[in-house]
Amino acid sequence: MNSPTVQIVDDDSAVRDALQWLLQSRRVASRTWESAEAFLDFVSPKLCGCLLLDVRMPGMSGIELFDRLRALKCRLPVIFLTGHGDVPMAVQALKDGAFDFIEKPYDDNALVDKVLAAIDHDTRRSAKDGSLLLLQQRLAQLTQREQEVMQLILAGKLNKVIADELNIAMRTVEVHRSHIFEKMQVRSAVELSQVLGVLGDTQDY
């Protein structure tokens, strides 16, 4: 969809311009916002790249915006910018999943490096999310009954046992079984268990 872009949110136009100029000089696309509210109006799950976010702003603070974005499931990596060396805040932000926390004045090269790292991280995450989504779409194709049967298959139960537990004929289980394999695009219960295995560990940083 979109190409990786750095979203810059800062109330100080001088900072916004400096950042945008810096990134532009390194061939990194960016877009600026003068308040958390303005960006929040624009935010969409399709965004990719990263977010350069000033902590202290009139109105909604960067930290507040960060919380809102998390609530909105926006997974954009966030790099905080702050002029006030606040260790507890930095620690909390990172523990809450912020990608980085930089003090102003910042070093140009260091900042660009961190931005590039964040973009790279987001690119990888998007790819992972993509295959995860594909998997979930396949899962969604399964009918209710098929999902029930699948659970029992993954529990390692024999068709005979599954038939018993669901009070249906073994033949019916066999039919469901083959439909499940077909829809999930696997050829055995082992493969099924493996492709579904990655669903458990959806972590970030």
Partner DNA sequence: GTGCTATTTGCGGAAATCCACAATAGCCAG
Partner DNA sequence: CTGGCTATTGTGGATTTCCGCAAATAGCAC
DSSP conformation class of 131:
H
Q: Find tokens 């993509």 and name the residue.
A: 130
Structure tokens at 146: 């098929």
Nearer to a copy of itself, 117 or 170 (CB): 117
Binding mask 96-135 for a copy of itself (x = CB under 8 A): ----xxxx--------------------------------
Can you tell me the distance from the alpha carbon of 38 to that of 194, in angstroms, rounded to the nearest whole number? 43
Task: Specify the DSSP element, H or E, that contains 182.
Answer: helix 170-184
44 vs 188, beta carbon nearer a copy of itself: 188
Site residues (CB under 8 A) for a copy of itself, limited to 47-86: 82, 85-86
Residue 154 contact partner, candidates DNA, a copy of itself, none, CB within 5 to 8 A by sort of partner: a copy of itself
Which run of H or of E encompasses 138? helix 108-141
**What are the angstrom distances between the C-alpha of 115 and each of 49, 73, 77?**
9, 21, 9
Q: Write the interaction track for a copy of itself spanning residues 181-200; mark x where CB under 8 A is met and - where it is not.
A: -----xxxxxxxxx--x--x
Q: What is the DSSP letter of 103?
A: E
For position 154 contacting a copy of itself by CB under 8 A, the verdict is: yes
146 binds, among a copy of itself, DNA, none (CB under 5 to 8 A by kind): DNA
Of 95, 105, 140, 144, the residue at the interface with a copy of itself (CB under 8 A) is 95
Q: Considering the complex, what minimum distance in angstroms separates the CB of residue 154 from DNA?
A: 13
Strand order in the sheet with 30-33: 30-33, 5-9, 49-54, 78-82, 100-103
Q: State yes or no: residue 174 binds DNA (CB under 7 A).
A: yes
Q: Tell me how far apart the alpha carbons of residues 154 and 47 are, in angstroms, rounded to a whole number.
A: 36
**CA distance linking residue 141 with residue 105, whole number of Å:** 52
| 72 touching DNA, by CB under 7 A | no
In the complex, which residues of this chain contact a copy of itself (CB under 8 A)? Answer: 82, 85-88, 90-91, 94-95, 100-103, 153-154, 156, 186-194, 197, 200-201, 203
Please report, as ranges, the residues that interact with DNA according to CB under 7 A: 143-146, 158-160, 163, 166-172, 174-178, 181, 188-189
